[in-house]
Structure 1
Amino acid sequence: MRLDAATKHLDPPLAVVDLEAFDHNAADLVHRAAGRPIRVASKSVRCRFLLERVLRLDGFTGVMSYSLPEARWLARQWRDTDLADVDILVAYPTTDHAALRMLADDPHAREHISIMVDSTAHLDLVDAALGIGHADIRVCLELDVSWRPLWGLDVAHVGTRRSPVFTAAQAASLARAVVGRPGFRLVGLMGYEGQIAGLGDQPAGKPVAGAVVRWMQARSAQELAARRSEVVAAVKSVGSLEFVNGGGTGSIETTGSDESVSEVAAGSGLIGPTLFDNYRRFSPSPAVLFALPVVRKPRRNIATLFGGGYIASGAAGKDRLPSPYLPGGLKLLGVEGAGEVQTPVTGKAARDLGVGDRVWLRHTKAGELAERFTEYHVLSGDEVTETVPTYRGEGQCFG
């Protein structure tokens, strides 16, 4: 097996990034975006080496960061490089007073980092952290792009619970509040349609559920295209916008077809976690894998691996567990799953596994594996060519 041969000099647990698969996925994202620039979602990568690699490819521009401290750290790391002018959007509102103060005191960071707001309460918090008369902070408005099938009423909500701003009138009102308040500069609008981008439309073995999801997504996309266009027009009547961001790996085609959107976001599609195995429109290659050693053989058809309890965030369920990948035909035990100190696997292939062998697994989500490893071993062709740190390996933990 190529993975075993390439890493035979390394002791598991270990994680690898297959550059061929990673670059293939990047090219596929660009193809799917059909000319729309892609802003890289850093939370799905969490490895500076990989972020820098993709940012230097045609078709990618900017970073969607998941915290203000992370955005500041990236801007500081890139300040004296060819990536010094990368635009960084913090995708979630911040309440970090210390980070806000450091942002305000750093002209370079202020020029390249935008924070997210969805209410005047966020503006109040920034003023409280920085004091009246602070330097201009770049601001992006977040729009709720979930689907409300009952005439727009919030009694039936399909999508993630994020911004309270849903209508064009609400967006214009918030835009006026930003433009009219000293110390803030309106630069962008963003909306993440999780009900399309993060929900597979072809779940394995569930054809009826898949049909329902596709029905929902088609109607949600139709409603959103009309509403987002109205919102963008309303906000632009108040102030200019440098960018309108939308989508995610699973909705690049539908989001990119919306003429009101200037760029799309994507990150998980670079990595190819199991969460994205259930889509009809695309199929990313598994680019990041991890190996666990066999430490016990309690039965002939069971091999027990060391560690492995790398459970993904989200609603608890079997789909949050890591999945055995190689050798093929292995599965977790339902009564144990993936454990803190051991993970038993079973299946025909388990009979040929002995103590000291390794099993390769995939994580459900893209970036969270980087919180479990301090380094990724870079696989190019049939050999490991270098070892690069994850965020954790660089001593960074952004929550």
Structure 2
Amino acid sequence: MTPDRLDDLTADLDPPFAVLDLDALDANADDLVRRAGGRPVRVASKSVRSRAVLRRVLARPGFAGVLAYSLAEALWLAGGDDPVSDDVVVGYPSVDRAALRRLVADPVLASRVTLMADSPEHLDAVDAVAPPGRRPPVRICLDLDASLRAGGGRVHVGVRRSPVHDPAGAAALARAVHGRPGFVLAGLMAYEAQVAGVPDAPPGRPLRGLAVRGVQALSVRELAGRRAAAVAAVSAVAPLGFVNGGGTGSLERTAADPSVTEVAAGSGLYQPTLFDGYRAFRGRPALVFALAVTRRPAPGVVTVAAGGWIASGPPGPDRSPRPVHPAGLRLLGTEGAGEVQTPLRGPGAAGLGIGDRVWFRHAKAGEVCEHVGELHTVAGGRPAGAVATYRGEGRAFG
């Protein structure tokens, strides 16, 4: 949907606000399922952060389960008589004692939520809250480090996640889980961030793209063998209910690994700017936000209120929101996107007056929802109502 049309549909709204194009969301969801090649897609809630949107996506064929980013969030999504999902895997280890107490106090929640572990110390954290004989069994997913290591460990490509890197380490942790009362070994995850989250065709940087593609090809080959060996080693200890891998940027390659039973994705639903630079897919930008012009400090410059919606990760220009309408606007290098105001320069400023809007895309997906209480949805060229974000429901998860 064009920004001009969005201006018409949202004329009564005062910025800042965000708009979700449901037609684009649905098209992106279909494309994720196509790219997953028959593997079920577990929705990464960190990249969505709206229960209504999660429900919409999970109701579509090809999607199953949630990959949450905190235990407190997982309990919220899995709780009650009408849970968002009854299959929620927490993507990161948790030492949140209050959330752990809630988990072990409710057999239903304990059956719906799977904790992540990469060390016996994560099991200790559960036992410290409630010993095995006084709680239901707790489901555990092992986190296998998927980074590429070379040169005897001197070179590390990927994120710093689990210390469990090789099949022997995975099997040792599996034995620690399986042999310990009060725990059930449920699955294994290996997230290849260096493939799933690094664009292989960054705009205007062909040499970097070539280098990234070479490293990613090497990493995919290395991980395929190592992950298969780890799955075999762990399965010799206890059967695995699932093996999860991948992300929006790597669905085809991860799904091609026979040892993987499901893939994860979330960012591709909204298609933020960091995911514009992939050769394998072209998503439709589904989520945009509007800010109001409040100053004209100089010829060719306008200032909008707020705007400092910076994406997490290594600081840099690619983490800043991108003005997309009117065309011909850019951030000032000396100020960037500010918490209370953001100046913009360029030919697009000439036609803007006080009170006019500038539309932006965020660098990441769900982080937009930390700044707004609702997403104003459109579908078929018409307003389709507003849905609450986590923030709008009074929830914030670290």
The answer, yes or no, to whether TM exceeds 0.5 is: yes
Whole-Å separation in 2 of the counterparts to 1:154 and 1:189 = 23
Give the Å deviation of 1:328. 1.6
Q: Deviation per CA, 1:300-356, whole angstroms, max 9, x where unpaired? A: 311110000011111111111100011122111111110111111111111001111
Q: Determine if contact 2:55/2:84 at 8 Å carries over to the other structure.
A: no
The DSSP-based 3-state class of the residue aligned with 1:63 is strand
More deviation, 190-199/341-350: 341-350
Q: TM-score if structure 2 supplies the norm length?
A: 0.97
Q: Determine if contact 1:292/1:308 at 8 Å carries over to the other structure.
A: yes
Whole-Å separation in 2 of the counterparts to 1:58 and 1:210 = 33
Whole-Å separation in 2 of the counterparts to 1:207 and 1:260 = 33
The DSSP-based 3-state class of the residue aligned with 2:385 is strand
Match of 1:61 among 61, 64, 68: 64
Whole-Å separation in 1 of the counterparts to 2:150 and 2:212 = 14
More deviation, 288-297/298-307: 298-307
The DSSP-based 3-state class of the residue aligned with 1:29 is helix
Moved over 3 A (4+): none
The DSSP-based 3-state class of the residue aligned with 2:308 is coil
RMSD between superposed Cα atoms in Å:
1.0
The DSSP-based 3-state class of the residue aligned with 2:186 is strand
Give the Å deviation of 1:85. 5.6
| Residue matched to 1:71 | 74
| Residue matched to 2:45 | 42
| Residue matched to 2:247 | 248
AA aligned opposite 1:356: G
The DSSP-based 3-state class of the residue aligned with 2:157 is coil
For the pair 1:354 / 2:353, whether they are aligned, the reply is yes
- What are the residue-to-residue correspondences of 1:233-244 with 2, within 5 Å? 233-244=232-243
Give the Å deviation of 1:75. 1.1
Give the Å deviation of 1:92. 0.2
More deviation, 240-249/325-334: 325-334
- What are the residue-to-residue correspondences of 1:202-213 with 2, within 5 Å? 202-213=201-212
Q: Deviation per CA, 1:233-275, whole angstroms, max 9, x where unpaired? A: 0000000111000000000011000000000000000010001
| Residue matched to 2:55 | 52
Q: Determine if contact 1:200/1:278 at 8 Å carries over to the other structure.
A: yes
| Residue matched to 1:112 | 112
Q: Determine if contact 2:68/2:90 at 8 Å carries over to the other structure.
A: yes
Identity across the alignment (%): 57
The DSSP-based 3-state class of the residue aligned with 1:157 is strand
AA aligned opposite 1:323: R
Q: Determine if contact 1:61/1:86 at 8 Å carries over to the other structure.
A: no
More deviation, 264-273/294-303: 294-303
For the pair 1:374 / 2:376, whether they are aligned, the reply is no
| Residue matched to 2:28 | 25
| Residue matched to 2:146 | 145
Distance 1:85 1:333, change over 3 A: closer
The DSSP-based 3-state class of the residue aligned with 1:72 is helix
Whole-Å separation in 2 of the counterparts to 1:299 and 1:21 = 37
Q: Deviation per CA, 1:135-166, whole angstroms, max 9, x where unpaired? A: 2100000000100132xx32111000000001
AA aligned opposite 1:144: D
Q: Determine if contact 2:243/2:260 at 8 Å carries over to the other structure.
A: yes
The DSSP-based 3-state class of the residue aligned with 1:275 is helix
Gaps of 5+ in 2: none
Give the Å deviation of 1:292. 0.2
Q: Determine if contact 2:248/2:268 at 8 Å carries over to the other structure.
A: yes
More deviation, 66-75/377-386: 377-386
Q: Determine if contact 1:320/1:364 at 8 Å carries over to the other structure.
A: yes
Give the Å deviation of 1:130. 1.5
Whole-Å separation in 1 of the counterparts to 2:339 and 2:166 = 45
The count of residues paired between Structure 1 and Structure 2 equals 394
Q: Determine if contact 2:67/2:91 at 8 Å carries over to the other structure.
A: yes
More deviation, 167-176/374-383: 374-383
The DSSP-based 3-state class of the residue aligned with 2:160 is coil
| Residue matched to 1:123 | 123
Gaps of 5+ in 1: none
Whole-Å separation in 2 of the counterparts to 1:287 and 1:172 = 42
Whole-Å separation in 2 of the counterparts to 1:12 and 1:382 = 20
AA aligned opposite 1:66: Y
Give the Å deviation of 1:279. 0.7
AA aligned opposite 2:137: D
Q: TM-score if structure 1 supplies the norm length?
A: 0.97
Whole-Å separation in 1 of the counterparts to 2:15 and 2:85 = 38
Give the Å deviation of 1:115. 0.2
Whole-Å separation in 2 of the counterparts to 1:354 and 1:84 = 43
| Residue matched to 2:16 | 13
The DSSP-based 3-state class of the residue aligned with 1:368 is helix
Give the Å deviation of 1:80. 2.4
Give the Å deviation of 1:132. 4.3
